[in-house]
Amino acid sequence: MENSIIKIQGLKKVYNPDTIPVFALNGINLEIEEGEFIAIVGPSGSGKSTLLNMIGGLDSPSEGSVEIGGIKIDELDSKKLIDFRLKNIGFVFQDYSLLPVLTAKENVAFVMQLQGQADQKCNKRAEELLTAVGLQERMNNRPAKLSGGQQQRVAVARALASKPKFILADEPTANLDSKSTSDLLDIMLQLNKEEKITFIFSTHDQRVIDKARRVVWVVDGKIDKDERK
């Protein structure tokens, strides 16, 4: 793929290699292009979340490589990897992972503050992003005052804050009702189409699979199918 932003080659993750080895991933080869809206799917224990963690640099491979924008992130030391993640990858987690003592706007701005950006710039972009996800009236609410769907929208805005190369969403709809899921996916699709933001999901939610334009099925740590719609 000419426009690949992610290249994965021979990726393996083995637990208990010296006793009874368990292959969470067993030889994954995958390329993802800029602007894709892709779902990595499979049953529990298939390796899909492990694969997402590898792409995000949250776990290290036993063998193989993960290359993002020409950089093999598995070869970076811990300090450089943290810095790389902060500047290049946005994360949306199943449990939202918002800081409870901060408002919605402060949660979104926090990522940019970690990058050393000026407070005024951080607040302005946070307001723009929360408006984009339909939360312009809830910017000053803390997470406890927001519904699950609203908290997940804050998480999406936060993931976008650093202008990452792509966003990893690990089971982002697992705790949401049907309407919240539909609203969230519509927002993500709009961002994907209008701003060419790449979204990579780990999911077993059929609603996400139906919206995805590419579905990669992982079974027993290997890619079983790779389908484009």
Tens of pLDDT along 78-112? 999 999 999 999 999 888 999 999 999 999 999 89
Query: Residue 223's beta-bridge partner residues?
Result: 218
C-beta separation of 52 from 168 below 8 A: yes
Identify the bridge partners of residue 217 per DSSP, sorted by sequence position.
41, 225
Do you know the residue count of the chain? Answer: 229
Q: How high is the pLDDT of residue 162? A: 85
Is the model's pLDDT at 2 over the cut of 70?
Answer: no
Q: How far is CA 24 from CA 44, 149, 223, in A?
A: 11, 31, 12
SS3 state of residue 100:
coil
Average pLDDT score over residue span 106-119: 93
Confidence of residue 1 (pLDDT cuts 50, 70, 90): low
Q: Is the pLDDT of residue 7 over 90?
A: yes
- The per-residue pLDDT for 17 is 84
- Tell me the pLDDT of the chain averaged across its residues: 94
Contacts 24+ apart (CB under 8 A), 84-87: 84/57, 85/56, 85/57, 86/111, 86/114, 86/115, 86/162, 87/115, 87/162, 87/164
Q: Which two tokens stand for residue 190?
A: 């709009």
Beta bridge partners of 7: 31, 67
Give the pLDDT confidence of 159-217 residue by residue, as tens digits: 999 889 999 999 999 889 999 999 999 999 999 998 899 999 999 999 999 999 999 99
How far is Cα 81 from Cα 139, in angstroms, rounded to an integer? 31
Pairing of β 63-68 and β 4-15: antiparallel
* Structural domains of the chain, ranges and CATH numbers in brackets: 36-58+77-228 (3.40.50.300)
Percent of the chain's residues with pLDDT above 70: 99
* Residue 170 near residue 92 (C-beta atoms within 8 A): yes
Average pLDDT over residues 46-62: 94
- Return the residue matching tokens 């701003």: 195
pLDDT greater than 90 at residue 41 = yes
Average pLDDT over residues 143-155: 95
Q: Which residue has the tokens 């409870």?
A: 100
> Residue 65 above 70 pLDDT?
yes
Place of tokens 């202008």: 163
Average confidence (pLDDT) over 25-30:
96
- Report pLDDT for 26: 96
